[in-house]
Amino acid sequence: MSPSLSELNAPIGVFDSGFGGLTVARQIADVLPHEDIVYVGDTARAPYGPRPIAQVRQFALECLDKLVNHGVKALVIACNTASAAVLRDARERYDVPIIEVVLPAARRAAAVTRNGRVGVICTEATANSMAYEDALAASPGVGVTTSACPRFVEFVEAGITAGPEVLSVAREYLKPIQAAGCDTLILGCTHYPLLRGVISYVMGEKVNLVSSASEAAQETWRVLNDRGLTTHDLGGSNRLFMITGDADRFAGISQRLLGQFVHTAETIHVGRIPRAHG
C-alpha cells in the first residue's frame, strides 16, 4: 500500500546524544529543504562516548521511542556512539526506515581511499564497539586505524574550534593516523565536522576527510527517494527541537556554532537520569 499524504508529509526524526547531531540535521536540511525535522537530543545524559555500550543502547531506545511516538516517517540515528550501539535493536523494534551514520561514512571512505589505509576518529565507546572496523571489513584491502578523541567534544561544546590548545590536542590524537599513513580519515563523531579546520590543518590537504554527518544526510536523501517517502508539501519546513536537559543552553550553544538553525528548543522528559557516568 502506498503511503498516505499525511505519512509522506510527516517529519524526519533525528536523534543524538545531545547537540552534535545538529551537524547531521543541518546537512539533511541542505539536501532535503522541504522536509520537517523533529530532533531529540539527550543532553541530560550526554556525553554517551564514555558510557558502556549497553547503557547507550537503553538510553538511545528511550529517545527513539519518543520520536516514533511523535509519528516520524524515518529515523536518523545521528550519533555515532548510538549508531554503534543500537542499530540492530532499532531495526527490529520500529517499522519506519532507519538511517545511521557509521555505514554510509565507511562506504564513502572505502570508495575514496587510494592506498587502502583508512583512519577513524571517534568517541571511546565507538572505538570500543569496533563498529567502523566491522563496517569496513567487507571492503577488500582496506585497513583501519582508530583513534578515540574524547576531548574534541568538550572543545566544540565550549565553542573552541581554533587556537593553540585544540591544535596541540589534535596533533596528539591524530599521531597514530598519520603514523599509519592513512590517506582517508572518517570524522566518526557528530561534533567533528565543527573541527574540520584544525583536523584538516594537521592532516594536510592530501588526506580526504569523510564526514559521517554529510554521508548520513546523503543516505537519508537516498532512502526517502528510493522508498517514495519525500514530502509533497513544498512550502516552508518546520523544525522542532526536543531536549532532555536545559533547552536554553542547547539553543545558546547551537546558535553560537551553527547560527540560526535552531530558533527555540523545548525540554522533554525521557527515562531516568543516572547520578554518575557508568
Residues that bind ligand DGL (CB under 6 A): 16-18, 20, 46-49, 79-81, 123, 126, 153, 189-191
User: Who contacts 275 (Cβ-Cβ below 8 Å, separation ≥6)?
Assistant: none
Instruction: Output the residue with the shortest Cβ distance to ligand DGL.
Output: 49
Residue pair 77/60 in contact by the 8 Å Cβ criterion: yes
Task: Identify which of residues 227 and 277 has a Cβ nearer to ligand DGL in the complex.
Answer: 277
Task: Identify which of residues 9 and 128 has a Cβ nearer to ligand DGL in the complex.
Answer: 128
Whether 182 is catalytic is no
Residue pair 11/37 in contact by the 8 Å Cβ criterion: yes
Task: Identify which of residues 63 and 247 has a Cβ nearer to ligand DGL in the complex.
Answer: 63
In the complex, the smallest distance separating the C-beta of residue 8 from ligand DGL, rounded to whole angstroms, is 29
In the complex, the smallest distance separating the C-beta of residue 2 from ligand DGL, rounded to whole angstroms, is 35
Cis peptide, bond prior to residue 47, ω within 30 of zero: yes
Whether 189 is catalytic is yes
> Choosing from 63, 79, 149, 182, which is the catalytic residue?
79
Q: Both ends of the chain: CA-CA distance in Å?
A: 45
With CA atoms as reference, report the closest residue to 230 among 78, 3, 38, 76: 3
User: Who contacts 86 (Cβ-Cβ below 8 Å, separation ≥6)?
Assistant: 56, 57, 60, 61, 64, 77
> Choosing from 122, 149, 182, 189, which is the catalytic residue?
189
In the complex, the smallest distance separating the C-beta of residue 102 from ligand DGL, rounded to whole angstroms, is 10
Task: Identify which of residues 41 and 229 has a Cβ nearer to ligand DGL in the complex.
Answer: 41
In the complex, the smallest distance separating the C-beta of residue 112 from ligand DGL, rounded to whole angstroms, is 21
> Alpha helices of 70-163 — where are they, by DSSP H?
80-93, 102-112, 124-129, 131-136, 150-157
The catalytic residues are 79, 189
